[in-house]
Amino acid sequence: MGVEERKQQLIGVALELFSHRSPDEVSIDEIAAAAGISRPLVYHYFPGKQSLYEAALRRAADELAARFVEPPHGPLGARLLRVMVRFFDFVDEHGPGFAALMRGGPAAGSSNANAMIDEVRQAAYEQILAHLDVERPSARLELVVRSWVSLAESTALLWLDGRRVPREELERQLVHDFAALAAVSAAYDTEMAGILVRILADEPADGPFGELVGRLAALAPELPGPAHAPEAPVEPGPAAGQAAGQRLA
């Protein structure tokens, strides 16, 4: 077996072990045994466990970033839902390793590991901007997208701790969360309002975003009215909301 081929084998073996247990709990001896080679041979290809962990992290980071790639066709809500399904597939397959990385595993804190984690977050951020067809996001749009990427990450970590909520519900909820973040921002910013209206214009009533609007509309009669009506409406929120509602009706 050639040098590069052997390295890739060891990375694959390490990733498989990290998928079932935290990297802190996996020894070089176990990796060597699973690869069918001796411990000294592992050190021939990697100086230590940290370097092997970072190599495995590189492969995992590339794979995770690829989960956010989605052809820019069809309603945004359906696209985001497919992305979330693939994201949770990854989390499900690499649970302990994903949790150890995000919460502080053996390589977390190193400059290489931190850079790779940031690359994944940036790749996800850029993919969402591409779906929105925006090249130069405003400060509010950047806040919405980066907040949503962080929310997806923290939601996945909480889900791994007991899996008390069905993942299918969380996948759809995260798509709804994106719409909610965008809607709140649109209430304060005309540019965000325009983006929201453009997004919802292509959404079918039975899509993820349309479903959210329907659920909120059904809930509205149960909510108490404000004690005091505002003296002047906040623009452009009401107009944008009415336009979006008409398109989803």
Residue-by-residue DSSP string for 89-108:
HHHHHTHHHHHHHHH--SST
Is residue 25 in some structural domain? no
Is residue 142 in some structural domain? yes
At 239, which CATH number? 1.10.357.10
Is residue 20 in some structural domain? no
* pLDDT per residue as tens digits for the range 192-245: 999 999 999 989 989 999 888 888 888 888 888 766 655 555 555 544 445 445
Buried b (16+ CB within 10 A) or exposed e, 177-209: bbbebbbebbbebebbbebbbebbeebeeebbb
Is residue 158 in some structural domain? yes
Average pLDDT of the residues in 153-165: 94
Supply the range of the domain harboring residue 154: 71-248
Is residue 101 in some structural domain? yes
Share of the chain above pLDDT 70, in %: 87
* pLDDT per residue as tens digits for the range 19-35: 788 777 889 999 999 99
> Rounded to an integer, what distance in angstroms lies between the CA atom of residue 235 and that of residue 227?
20
Domains identified in the chain, total number: 1
Whole-number pLDDT of residue 79:
96
Whole-number pLDDT of residue 18:
82
- Model confidence at 48: pLDDT above 70: yes
Q: How many CB atoms lie within 10 A of CB 85?
A: 14
Most confident of 23-37, 102-116, 162-176: 162-176
> Rounded to an integer, what distance in angstroms lies between the CA atom of residue 25 and that of residue 27?
6
- Model confidence at 39: pLDDT above 60: yes
Is residue 1 in some structural domain? no
pTM check: above 0.75: yes
Are the C-beta atoms of residues 62 and 55 closer than 8 Å to each other? no
Is residue 54 in some structural domain? no
Is residue 115 in some structural domain? yes
Q: How many CB atoms lie within 10 A of CB 235?
A: 12
Angle between helices 95-103 and 3-18 (to 10 degrees): 90
Cα 107 off chain centre by: 21
Whole-number pLDDT of residue 240:
46
